[in-house]
Amino acid sequence: MADSWNPLTPQTFAVDEIVSAAKLNQELRDRIQALFNGLVGDGSADLDVVHRHKSGTFAARPAAGSAGRLYRATDTGAIFWDDVTAWRHLSGRGFYDGFDRADSTTLGSAESGHAWTESVGNAEIVTKTLRAITDSIATIDSGALLETAHFMATFDTGSVAGNVDLGLVLRFVDSNNYLFCHQLAATNQFLLKKVVAGVATTLASSSYTAPASTTHYIEVFLRGNLVICRITNAVGVPQAQLQADVVADTVTPFATATRCGARLFNEGVTGDVLHGLNVVFNV
C-alpha cells in the first residue's frame, strides 16, 4: 500500500474492533511521523507534537549533568544550557530590582523574580530602597557562573560623608570569598577588592571622596579576568574609574560563584542605600 503520512488525522478505532495489521501499521507510521515533525522539523507544522524544553521555577531546576539540555526558569526568565558540569546562562532578561514594594525586614524576590538572600548581616527594604540594619551583603543567584556580566546600580550616600561604605559584589562564593567594588570614606577611595579566605586585598584603587546624601551610579563591566568599574555622580560625571586584570581570580578562587549583589557596611537611618540594581549576565 502507498505511504500516507497524515499525523493530523489519526485512525479511529471502535471499542470491539479487531484491528487490521494495515490499519495499525498506518497509525504507527503517522504517529512516528508526527513525533519526527515536532522534534526535528518545523513544530508549527504539526500540532500533535510541539517541541518545548523543560521549564519550571529556578528553584526546581535539576542538577546539571546531562549534556545539551536546556532549562527555562519561569520565574526569572532565564534559559540555561547544561554542559554536564554546570548550567550555563544562555539568555534571559537578567536581574533587576528597584525595591518598589512595601517596607520589609525580609527582602523577598526582586522584580525580575530572583530571590534575595541576606548572605551576610541584616538588611531591609525602606522607602523603596535597600538599607543595612547591620553590615550586610545581600545577594541573588544568577543560576550560572559569573564569567561575564554588566552591572548598573544607583546608590544614595548616607547623611554622614565620613561613614560612606557601599559597593557591589561581583562574584560571591561565601562571606569569606568574594570579589567586590567599593566606595569607602575611610580612605576616600573607590576600590576593587577580593576577599579570599577572609583576607581582603586591594586589586585597584582611585581617589574619590563621595559627598553625603548624594546619588551615585556604579557601573561594572565583568569580562572574565578583566574588570572595569566606575562611579558616577548624579549628573553623569565619572568620578573614578578602575581597570584591573584579576586573572588569577577568573576561575580561581571564585570558580563556583553564581551569586552577586550589594555590600552595604554603612548601616542604619544615616547609612547608604541602594535604589536599584540591574545585572545582565553573559553579555
By CB under 5 A, what part of segment 15-44 binds Ca ion?
none
Residue among 242, 163, 177, 248 at smallest CA distance from 210:
163
Residue 257 CB, nearest approach to Ca ion (Å): 22
Number of chain residues interacting with Ca ion (CB under 5 A)? 2
Site string for Ca ion, 117-136 (x = CB under 5 A): -----x--------------
Q: Which is nearer to Ca ion, 26 or 136 (CB)?
A: 136
Q: Which is nearer to Ca ion, 95 or 116 (CB)?
A: 116
Residue 264 CB, nearest approach to Ca ion (Å): 11
Distance CA 280, CA 265 (A): 25
Site string for Ca ion, 69-108 (x = CB under 5 A): ------------------------------------x---
Q: Which three cell numbers stand for residue 116?
A: 534575595
Q: Which is nearer to Ca ion, 107 or 181 (CB)?
A: 107
Residue 108 CB, nearest approach to Ca ion (Å): 10
Q: Which is nearer to Ca ion, 74 or 122 (CB)?
A: 122
Residue 107 CB, nearest approach to Ca ion (Å): 6
Q: Which is nearer to Ca ion, 6 or 105 (CB)?
A: 105
Residue 99 CB, nearest approach to Ca ion (Å): 13
Residue 110 CB, nearest approach to Ca ion (Å): 15
Q: Which is nearer to Ca ion, 125 or 210 (CB)?
A: 125
- Residues near Ca ion (CB under 5 A) are 105, 122
